Amino acid sequence: MLTHVFLRSAITHTLYCLACLPPEDLLLSPVDHLLPLLKSCGSLLTATPSVGGLKKENVQLWLNIVAQAYALFYLILVCFEILYRYIIIIIIIIIFPPGSHDSFSFYIDESSPVGPEQTDAVQNFVSVFGTVAKKLMRKWLATQTMNFSSQLEAGVRFFDLRISTKPRDPDNELFFAHGLFSATVREGLEQISSFLSAHAREVVFLDFNHFYGVQNLHHEKLVSMLRDVFGEKLAPVVFAQEVSLQYLWEKEYQVLVFYHSPMALEVPFLWPGQMMPAPWANTTDPEKLIQFLQASVADRRRKGTFFVSQVVLTPKASTVMKGVASGLRETITER
């Protein structure tokens, strides 16, 4: 039993020495680490008197065991290094970063006006029932329970963004919107930028795919805002097949902006919307959704672009009517 204790002590000491090494030193050749580690472990063992049959003359045996443990540990590190080097050089269009649908909808404001994209029927419904109608709307429109910062911390790297102006707004402010208005665009972008500044190797994809009441002056304002908030983090447009994590890290690019508007043709860092297709199954049936996703992934891989797999169930009008007071989460997500 005491012999086992000594073995565990030697190996623990070895791992502790490795843990204290700077990350950049972990993958030097075995000899670079092995000799000082063996000397260190040798000092530990030779300083210990005979216990449970372990004498100083047995030190070489234990050093051999420690060396073997280190060799195994080093082999694991090498395997991780090979995997790491492979991942960063493969083109980013075949990596699957997680994303969120209507990413901004956590911020939907029940006191805001109805969005300009809504039908006359919805506008009339709200004009009659007021706040009650908006509270019901929010239950169906808010697809996210976390703000941008929390989503980023949870691993989300693709953001589905829909931009709108408010009617008769003298400031021409830009808002995120989905039925009702959400946070200002600048507020959301600054949260994302703060995360990126704190995590230099993280990359995000911003997909501006719907614009409501947005004219040329608003597009120009948004482009200026993107430059102001992200600056040198913005990746200029290149062929999708050229983009790998290694390329982005070397250039210190962290933001790819996809822009579904002709404005994308005028600005070097706006990637055309067709480079990020996002087909929509438009179904409440999980089986049909899976079939759709399988077919669309195979088709889009052949085209060699970025793409979005929308693993999203979409309520029909009849679905909403049946569960109008329950909301999206209870009616579809948690069923």
| Residues assigned a catalytic role | 101, 178
Task: Please check whether residue 255 is in contact with residue 206, taking contact to mean a CB–CB distance below 8 angstroms.
Answer: yes
The torsion angles phi and psi of 144, rounded to 5 degrees, stand at -120, 145
Q: Which of 99, 123, 117, 283 is nearest to 211 (CA)?
A: 117
Q: What angle do CA 164, 167, 172 make, to 5 degrees?
A: 65
158/234 Cα distance (integer angstroms):
15
The number of angstroms, rounded, from the C-alpha of 200 to the middle of its chain's C-alpha atoms is: 14
What are the contacts of 311-318 at 24+ separation with CB within 8 A? 312/101, 312/280, 312/281, 313/283, 313/284, 313/285, 313/286, 313/289, 314/280, 314/281, 314/282, 314/283, 314/284, 315/140, 315/284, 316/284
